[in-house]
Amino acid sequence: MAAVAAVVSIGQPARTTHVARVVLVLGALVVLGWLMVLPLLAIFAEALQHGLAFYLHAIREPDTLGAVRLTLTVAAIAVPLNMVFGLAAAWSMAYFEFRGKAWLGALIDLPFSISPVVCGMMLILVYGKNGWLGSWLEAHGLQVIFALPGLVLATVLVTLPYVARELIPLMQAQGSDQEEAALTLGASGWQIFFRVTLPRVRWALLQGVLLCNARAMGEFGAVYVVSGHLRGITNTLPLQVDQLSQENFSAAFAVASLLALLTVFTLAIKRLVKWRHGGEWNAND
Amino acid sequence: MGIEISRLRRRFGTFLALDDVSLSIGDGEFVAVLGPSGSGKSSLLRILAGLDQPDAGSVLRDGRDLLALDARRRGVGLVFQHYALFPHMTVAQNVAFGLRVRPWRVRPKAQAIKATVEDLLRRVELEGFVDRYPSQLSGGQRQRVALARALAIEPRLLLLDEPFGALDAQVRVNLRGWLREFHRSLGITTLFVTHDQDEALEMADRVVVMNRGRIEQIGAPEQVYRQPATPFVSRFIARGQRLPGEVRGQHLHLFGHAWRIENFAAADAHEVAVHVRPEDIVPAPVPGDGLTAQLLNLRHVAGSVRASLRVESWDEPLEAEWSERDWARCASAADDRLHVHLQAVTVFAMDRDGRVRLRSIVYPPYANSSIAVGPWRRIEA
């Protein structure tokens, strides 16, 4: 909204621009309020309508606590994995020339465009009981589908592009002059990464990681397919909300509000960091 | 011993960035590589710094293979055109970087690093800027931080990529003299790349002129300017302009005149190029003498006069440059007609492959002038 206002205010301070600014800003506010803020408030209102005691009880239910624990566990594994992957992918896309570079870029974007349900199905096809690796996994006593590894795989797959897509444009725009300077000054590859590259991309990296985390905790489709819906065992928070909504509506809203709180909390951290380090956030040099 | 570069070749796809480039640089020499963009000068620099590898050729430093060392261990200081300072580090941290990243066994103690940094910053006249960040410095100051950072590793070869390319004109001129003196006090072998003729001629001991991946000429600034080896060097360095001349027998035919050329074997010439410099087109001291010229426009620029002329019936306008004094003396400029002499023209004769076989500088005599030798005529060594 601020951006819209800023763009409009570049024009001459004529009456028409003033009107256009008010209309555009109001329009954006109304749409966002209608689609986002109101429903979000409705969830909390619904969750609390039977009082705080009921709310706390619904949340303290062992299955729900299990779901919270599982969701946090999956995110704690998937997000660091994607952070490493995103950094490696962005590094190679920005600093190396190789055949098939355009293909790698397109592949990184693929999870954005494939339906999460299809992502889940793909995993079943490969790791499921009758899948390509199914019999080998079973022979070695490894369970992937309907267990934690499957949930992590599905989450990693769906949230793959978030970190990489934050970093690639930034690193390509910044160029490799500073890395080359560090190299001629005698720095090793790791020294260049930790002392030169990482500090330059830290805010974009943080932004990517937080978005990735929000998405990882909220993922439903792909996880739904590979989870098996075992209460308290393989139900993540979104799945728990889904199951509860078919039995106990108020409890479902309580859990849903918890999930919403987790992601809102994540985004709040992002805003906070951006506010505290606003000057550095977009500083490239 | 210095640096011995021989027969370097580098190709990017179909583009030949370096084509058989050979060059030797003496210890402590200050060499400028001059050429238009795309001439291969930056490729040469990157190969010397170890950021790129040639397809063929060798580089020896004191008889040892430099290309075998990777960029980390080469001991070559490189200053980038846009400085490439680390924006999240202070000036002191930037300068200390090359010392801090050394393996701990050969890393100087913190106190020693601090002393070195202070010494370097004093040398580049930035003592008070230790705790500033690069974003708080002006262009010229960033340039000097980049220089101090490159010098911290005690390089045996210093490479500067368009050192003044990103600075405004005033700062650029000031820094030129400063860098020249700085080099003299350090004595490090230095190679700098530029597309600015003035910069190269003013600063370097020797100038290497490059075009399309090839070296066109290597020589002292004065030599490259007075005796360009090829039509390209003549155009690029001396602002040489083409004239409609041709050589028949032992004579140069130009604007209806014929002048004798000494030691010119026309048999070698497949193609001839005749060039004249702006300052060699001078107003005739006697009215009605010399070649007729039409004045197309006239600009007064900082003590000199630049004129576009149509000489005789030659279609291409010629640029002439005179001092204000010469211009004032030539009173015939009341209307847009005047008469000019060509003081010196350079004749290049090329063979079938376009290689320059012969070069001759002709001083057309002032045939109709009462003064046999013009007052402006230069005496060549």
| Interchain pair B88, A184: CB under 8 A | no
Tokens of A2: 């601020």
Q: Which residue of A has its CA nearest to B150?
A: A185
Q: What percent of chain B has pLDDT over 70?
A: 92
Concatenating the DSSP letter of every residue in B237-305 gives HH--EEE--EEETTEEEETTEEEE-TT--GGG-SEEEEEE-GGGEEE-SSTT-SEEEEEEEEEEETTEE
Could you tell me if A15 and A149 lie in one domain? no
Average pLDDT, chain A: 86
C-alpha–C-alpha distance, residues B343 and B363, integer Å: 6
Examine the pLDDT at A1 and tell me if it is beyond 90: no
Instruction: Inform me whether the C-beta atom of residue A180 falls under 8 Å from chain B C-beta atoms.
Output: yes
Give ∠ CA B112-B101-B186 in degrees, rounded to 5: 55
C-alpha–C-alpha distance, residues B311 and B305, integer Å: 17
Could you tell me if A263 and A227 lie in one domain? yes
Residue A285 lies in a domain: no
What are the tens digits of pLDDT across the range B317-338? 999 998 888 777 765 555 678 8
Q: Which residue of A has its CA nearest to B151?
A: A185
What are the tens digits of pLDDT across the range A151-204? 999 999 999 999 999 999 999 888 889 999 999 999 999 999 999 999 989 888
C-alpha–C-alpha distance, residues B359 and B343, integer Å: 17
Per the structure, the count of domains in chain A is 2
What are the tens digits of pLDDT across the range A102-112? 899 899 999 98
List Cβ neighbours of A278 (8 Å cut-off, separation of 6 or more). none
- Taking residues A197-225, report their average pLDDT: 91
Amino acid making up residue B269: A
| Interchain pair A186, B98: CB under 8 A | yes
- Cα of A176 to nearest chain B Cα, Å: 9
**pLDDT of amino acid B335:** 63
| Interchain pair B80, A183: CB under 8 A | no
Strands B251-254 and B257-260: antiparallel
What are the tens digits of pLDDT across the range B241-260? 998 888 887 788 888 878 77
If you search the block for the tokens 């076989």, which residue do you land on?
A: B357
Residue A104 lies in a domain: yes
Could you tell me if A30 and A55 lie in one domain? no
Q: Which of A146, A148, A120 is nearest to A225 (CA)?
A: A120
Examine the pLDDT at B76 and tell me if it is beyond 80: yes
- Taking residues B40-65, report their average pLDDT: 93
- Which residues in chain B have their CB less than 8 angstroms from residue A183's CB? 50-51, 71-72
Which residue range(s) make up the domain with A158? 51-280
Residue A17 lies in a domain: yes
Q: Which residue of A has its CA nearest to B50?
A: A184
Q: What CATH class does B3-231 carry?
A: alpha beta
Residue A254 lies in a domain: yes
Average pLDDT, chain B: 86
Given B49, B86, B102, which is nearest A184 (Cβ)?
A: B49
C-alpha–C-alpha distance, residues B41 and B140, integer Å: 23
**Residue of A27 and A9 predicted with greater confidence:** A27
- Which residues in chain B have their CB less than 8 angstroms from residue A187's CB? 72, 97, 101
Instruction: Inform me whether the C-beta atom of residue A185 falls under 8 Å from chain B C-beta atoms.
Output: yes
Q: Which residue of B has its CA nearest to A185?
A: B98
| Interchain pair A285, B73: CB under 8 A | no
**pLDDT of amino acid B287:** 67
Which of A15-24, A151-160, B37-46, B251-260 is predicted with the least confidence, judged by mean pLDDT? Answer: B251-260
**pLDDT of amino acid A160:** 92
- Taking residues A89-112, report their average pLDDT: 89
| Interchain pair B86, A196: CB under 8 A | yes
| Interchain pair A186, B153: CB under 8 A | yes
**Residue of B113 and A234 predicted with greater confidence:** B113
**pLDDT of amino acid A281:** 45
Examine the pLDDT at B97 and tell me if it is beyond 90: yes
C-alpha–C-alpha distance, residues B225 and B200, integer Å: 11
Examine the pLDDT at B374 and tell me if it is beyond 80: no
C-alpha–C-alpha distance, residues B19 and B9, integer Å: 5
Cβ–Cβ under 8 Å, residues A212 and A165: no
C-alpha–C-alpha distance, residues B183 and B32, integer Å: 13
Given A181, A186, A195, which is nearest B102 (Cβ)?
A: A186
- Taking residues B37-53, report their average pLDDT: 92
C-alpha–C-alpha distance, residues A266 and B77, integer Å: 45
A128-132, B91-95, B320-324, B362-366: which has the highest mean pLDDT? B91-95
Query: Can you state the angle between helices A38-47 and A249-276, rounded to 10 degrees?
Result: 130
Which of A159-168, B108-117, B308-317 is predicted with the least confidence, judged by mean pLDDT? Answer: B308-317
Could you tell me if A272 and A245 lie in one domain? yes
**pLDDT of amino acid B267:** 61
Cβ–Cβ under 8 Å, residues A166 and A207: yes
| Interchain pair B149, A191: CB under 8 A | no
Can you give the CATH number for the domain in which A128 is found?
Answer: 1.10.3720.10
Q: Which residue of A has its CA nearest to B149?
A: A185
Examine the pLDDT at A2 and tell me if it is beyond 60: no
- Taking residues B146-157, report their average pLDDT: 93
Ramachandran angles phi, psi of B94, nearest 5°: -60, -50
Report the length, in residues, of chain B: 381
**pLDDT of amino acid B340:** 85
Examine the pLDDT at B289 and tell me if it is beyond 60: yes
Report the length, in residues, of chain A: 285
Q: Which of A259, A264, A263 is nearest to A244 (CA)?
A: A259
Going by pLDDT thresholds of 50, 70 and 90, the confidence category of residue B370 is: very low
- Taking residues A29-43, report their average pLDDT: 92
Concatenating the DSSP letter of every residue in A15-51 gives HHHHHHHHHHHHHHHHHHIIIIIHHHHHHHHHHTTTH
